[in-house]
Each structure stands twice: as structure tokens, then as C-alpha cells.
Amino acid sequence: MEKPHIAGRRSLKLVMEPGTYLYCTCGKTENQAFCDGSHKGTGFRPEKVVVEERQLVKWCMCRHSKKGYWCDNFHRELEED
């Protein structure tokens, strides 16, 4: 099984407007944390995220959160490469 690229070891906190977003699950996007198609040719697919109202979102940058796109601070348990 492929492992995602760890783009960061903390969340990316952004105030998001209502809308639909495609969260990058491979971690290789140039536009963190949103899919730019960098997953092509891999087993990764973007995660569709619907934001209903303006809110602060803690996007997972390590791609190991048990809550999908939402950071659960699992990055604190990852070993350094």
C-alpha cells in the first residue's frame, strides 16, 4: 500500500468559505491542502469536503489523521524521517 507524502507536521488552519473542496490525500500537491492532480498514476484520490458555513478548518498536512482531512494531531506521533 502506498503511503502519502508528509507535507507538514502540523495542521494548516484556514478560514474556509462555504463551498466544495477537494482535499489532497497523496500530499504531493503544490497547492496545500487542495488537490491539483498530483495523485495521477497512484492509488490516491482526493477527498470531497463540503463546508456548509464559514469556519476555521484544521487541514491535516501529515495525511495520517483518523478523521480524514480534519487534523487530529496524529502528526505528533510520527517518527522523524
Residue 54 lies in a domain: yes
Positive or negative torsion for Cα 43, 31, 59, 6: positive
Whether 1 maps to a domain, the answer reads no
pLDDT along the chain (81 residues), means of 10: 92 98 97 97 97 98 96 89 59
- Is residue 73 one of the residues assigned to a domain? yes
Cell numbers at 40, concatenated: 495521477
What pLDDT is attached to residue 78? Answer: 87
Answer whether residue 27 is part of any domain.
yes
Report the pLDDT value the prediction gives residue 79, as an integer from 0 to 100: 77
Neighbours of 40 (CB within 10 A): 8
Q: What is the pLDDT of residue 1?
A: 72
- The residues facing 14 across adjacent strands are 57
Note the pLDDT of residue 81: 59
* Predicted local confidence at residue 32, as pLDDT: 96
Q: Tell me how many domains the chain contains.
A: 1
Residue 70 in domain: yes
Residues 6+ apart with CB under 8 A from 77: none
How far apart (Å, rounded) are the C-alpha atoms in residues 55 and 53? 6
Tell whether 33 is covered by a domain.
yes
Q: Looking at the domain assignment, is residue 24 inside a domain?
A: yes
**Residue 45: domain span:** 12-77
Q: Is residue 20 part of a domain?
A: yes
